[in-house]
Amino acid sequence: MGSSNRWATTISSTASSLYFLIILFQIPLFRVRCRGTLCTTPLELTCSQLLASEVFRPSVVKGVLYPGAIAKAIFNNKPIPPFNSLPKLYKFIQTPSPLTSDLHRLEVIAGSYLAVGGGIMGMVRAGGGRMSLFGCLITMWGIVWRKSSYLNPNKEKEISQIYPTMFLVLLLAFLSVRKDVRRIVRTLKPQSNPFSLSNKPKRK
């Protein structure tokens, strides 16, 4: 019992950490329209909405975006961008857009919020894995459903896309749910034979 709990804790903690790093450093997972540009990560889509709605101060949103901007600059062998130039760098339009344009991406927006919130909660305390899992599933469902819907123009269908890395993040989100991992570990663990002790000859 104790070994299965330790294995489940180790697997879920590692998966939560990897999931958080992928979200924080903005590894591309999908491609959808957002605020005048194309967003490829849940964090980009979430921050574009937060900048437009002005729920948080712009400096807070920029602080969340900055680690990913630094990682992208290093990966592309470019200079590290200034902190205040992030909205321009990401090409976010901070003016409120019509409500109908957001409704076309409602599932993806809601899923991105849950995916980012679950990643942060998973690092603060246990329990964010299920939120991350639901966020990934809702995001993928929203992209696939909108892409196949006849209500959208063909250009929108061509733009919306899911990258293979999204399936990796979905797996990490599932493995970060400690209860589910504990059930899997217990299932895979070989069961001891209850009659093995009774069959041994007793010592006199």
How confident is the model over 91-148, as pLDDT tens digits? 775 555 544 456 567 889 999 999 999 999 888 876 678 899 999 999 999 888 866 5
- Domain membership of residue 99 (yes or no) is yes
Is 16 inside any structural domain? yes
pLDDT of residue 182: 80
Question: How far is residue 120's CA from residue 124's CA, in Å, rounded to a whole number?
Answer: 6
- The pLDDT value recorded for residue 91 is 78
User: For residue 111, is it within any domain?
Assistant: yes
- Please tell me the pTM assigned to this model: 0.81
Q: What sign results for the dihedral spanned by CA atoms 31, 85, 58, 130?
A: positive
**In the chain, % of residues over pLDDT 70:** 78
**Does residue 198 lie within any of the structural domains?**
no
3-class secondary-structure state, position 34: strand
Answer whether residue 204 shows pLDDT above 60: no
| Rg of the Cα atoms in the chain | 22
Residue 200 lies in a domain: no
d(CA 67, CA 125): 21
Q: Does residue 201 form part of some domain?
A: no
How high is the pLDDT of residue 34? Answer: 81
Asked, for residue 156, whether it belongs to a domain, the answer is: yes
What's the pLDDT at 150? 43
Q: How many CB atoms lie within 10 A of CB 15?
A: 22
- Which residues neighbour 103 within 8 Å (Cβ) at sequence distance 6 or greater? none
Q: Burial level of 134, CB count in 10 A (0-12/13-18/19+)? A: middle
Q: What is the mean pLDDT of the chain?
A: 80
Domain count within the chain: 1
pLDDT per residue over 173-190, tens digit each? 999 888 878 888 778 766
pLDDT by residue (tens digit) across 48-59? 888 877 778 888
The answer to whether position 31 is within a domain reads: yes
Residue 99 is predicted with a pLDDT of 46
Tallying the residues shown for the chain, one arrives at 204
Domain, as residue range, for 181:
2-188
* Of 193 and 37, the one with more pLDDT: 37
